Chains A and B, each alone.
Chain A
Amino acid sequence: MKITFPHMGSPLIYTKLFELLGHEVIVPPKPTQKTINLGVKYSPEFACFPLKVLLGTYLEAIEMGADTIVSSGGNGPCRAGYYGEVHQRLIRNMGLDIDFIIFDELKRDYKGFINKLKKLKGQHSWFDLYKIVKTAYKMAVSTDKVKKFIEHKRPYISDKKKLNKVKLAIEDQYREIKTEQDIVRVEEYAFKILKGLDIEEKTGAEKLKIGIVGEIYVVMESGINFNLAELLNDFGVEVEMSHYISEWIQENLIPFVSHEKEIMKKAEDYIETIIGGHAKQNVGHIVDYKERGFDGIVHLKPFGCLPELVTQSILDKISDDLDLPILSLSIDEQMATANVMTRIEAFIDMIKQKKYKRSSDHERHVFGY
């Protein structure tokens, strides 16, 4: 088996997981324009954008030799849960003989689920499998911690070249991990060198924070979101995202624990019930970011995404109610980078002015002039 999988954010975790299970892994390439074109060419026109890009990713990985695709299925009502079936159909229609292992919820098909696990675990014992999965999960938690730290501090690090070098060095270390103990060690190492960088944090009115919310794939995949987090960082803005891979695993794969309940509660005024995708969570995050003093929100939505369209429809109201600027971007194959850049720049300017005005109003008030 030469395994590949969807590229969503960093492929580090899945690569590690399958490697530890002893498989040959074809690491899917980060999506580029070529990936997008390929996917668009073979997808139905009105399929959602992530479906198209993922198809492109698969085709590229197949070209590199992959013969098995592992992915997660899911429940509705959002289309994402049906991607597996559609991809399979499209790829087979192209005459390619590729094995699909799609993990659906345990309760949907218990036997099938176990059989798929058996296939993946090979000679390993169930206990080994448990340990390996746990290691991969711990690694996800750890790398997300590092990621959050960087998203937070990057705007204040002037030597970006050095930061990038440091990032690569950290990634290399993570790549070598074999056990849970290794993770602890690498994490310590990561924070040591990160904290050793020259960081000049801003405060008060100069500090800007933006929350990124939206459909999970376009939020996490920097290859198709114009590297939004870094882009904002380069404008001197701190960012936080509503989706991290470790949190996704927590919500979806670890039974009985949900950390999203509180966040979802905050959305209730706007979206009463779960309508699919992460629409309700995202609205909850917007409210939460406001409460935590963020200055603005960027909402990312793949073209035509059903649940996020509902969200987009009510963003004006939310923005008014909360007095919080929100920029909604719809991402598709035709979106030109230049256009996005201008919109983001304008958005940041607006936030800056707003914040500046507010803080000077505040000063006037305090000092009485």
Chain B
Amino acid sequence: MKIGVPRALLYYYYFPFWESFFNNLGCELVVSDKTSEVLINRGIKNSVSEICVPIKVYIGHVFNLLDKGVDYIYVPRFISIKKNITFCPKFLGLPDMIRNSLQGVEGKILSNYIEARSDDISNYKNYLGFMDKLGVSRSTLKNAAKKARKVWLNFREKSRQGLFIDQILNDRIITGASNNEITIGVVGYVYNVYDQFISMDFIDRLREMKVNVLTFEMLETKKIEEQVGKFAKKMFWEFTNKLLGAGYHFIHSPQVDGIIHITAFGCGPDSILGPFLDTEAEAFNKPLMRLRIDEQTGESHLITRIEAFTDMIRAKKEEEEGGSFR
């Protein structure tokens, strides 16, 4: 049986789990191609115009998988990976949206509810529906989940050691200066940061500019939670909370010289996150830049902005350090 996995949204956080899991269920895994202009255009054409870019991208990937002739496309319904905290409504309604708005997917969607207490989504009970659909036994399911968990924990550990997700997923060696002068904390969802087409490889660009980059998944969970814990009322969406916590951590950390908040056009949760990051960064006098990507963002425009931002940080740093010597 061929299972298709869209290379979009939480692919960048859970793919190692899915790969191991489905393989151990005896399925062949097919991943959609990398995001390209053609691919994204199909997503744009087949979705309502106001919807956020990552969803359009996702829809493009679903079509790409249909072309590849898979038996099923795996579209999980992420409900929660933390008690009382959910996902953005579009994640909650994703399978409904895919099922009811796209031509040709009928009978091809493999879906389940993901409800967990932590990022670890390996509880086999989340996957019981697969027994019938994929013809596997309960024990196979249990086993596969257990094995997949290990693989995934390992993957997360590598992130914490400072590797970038695309680096881990593609076994890619990112070249760049080791002797970096400034450090920037990048605040953004994995599907915006690591989709090379959406983000125009801006992490690589930063490194080329001799910038050290930190992202939320490199931080210990504890550090993130510490910051989020300061809020009487947490935000409703788990990954937004992670970004909030990471953002606040970066803002307060003396090792971080500046923050880039990368956000996709039409992201609702980010519009709420934004003001909180802004006020905090302002209060702590930490430079913050917001990169908003949409379907048409030009590459040169992006680079110019990043350059200007890093130049400004360098100048600020020099001035501060110079000042302290005198």
Contacts and interface: CB of A to CB of B under 8 A. Distances in A.
Nearest to A48: B268
B89 A44 contact: no
Interface stretch (A147-155, A190-198, A239-247, A274-282): A274-282
A44 B276 CA distance: 11
A314 B279 contact: no
Contact of B96 (A76, A270, A276): A270
B235 interface: yes
A46 B292 CA distance: 11
Contacts of A47: 271-272
Among B89, B97, B237, chain A packs the most CB atoms within 10 A around the CB of: B89
Contacts of B312: none
A61 B267 CA distance: 30
B250 interface: no
Interface string A298-331: 0000011111011011101110000000000010
Interface in B236-277: 236-237, 265-272, 274-276
Nearest to A272: B96
A123 interface: no
A310 B93 contact: yes
B58 interface: no
Contact of A309 (B51, B232, B269): B51
Contacts, number: 116
Given A89-B279, A273-B77, A46 B50 contact: no
Contacts of A104: 233
A309 B236 contact: no
Nearest to B271: A46
B89 A78 contact: yes
A90 B236 contact: no
Main secondary structure of the interface of A (DSSP, over half): loop
Interface in A46-74: 46-48, 73
A304 B266 contact: yes
B267 A77 contact: no
A272 B97 CA distance: 10
Q: How large is the interface on A (under 10, 10 to 19, 20 to 34, 35 or more residues)?
A: 35 or more
Among A46, A270, A318, chain B packs the most CB atoms within 10 A around the CB of: A46
Q: How large is the interface on B (under 10, 10 to 19, 20 to 34, 35 or more residues)?
A: 35 or more
A273 B101 contact: no
A79 interface: yes
B47 interface: yes
Contacts of A277: 89
Nearest to B92: A275
A85 interface: yes
A271 interface: yes
B100 A313 contact: yes
B90 interface: yes
Contact of B50 (A274, A276, A330): A330
A12 interface: no
Interface of B: 47-48, 50-51, 77, 79, 85-90, 92-93, 95-97, 100-101, 113, 232-233, 235-237, 265-272, 274-276, 279
Given A46-B274, A313-B51, A318-B100, 9 more contacts: A46-B268, A82-B235, A85-B233, A93-B275, A304-B268, A310-B90, A313-B100, A313-B101, A317-B101
Q: Which 5 A-B pairs rank lowest in CB-CB distance, beginning with the nearest? A: A76-B236, A310-B93, A46-B271, A314-B100, A275-B92
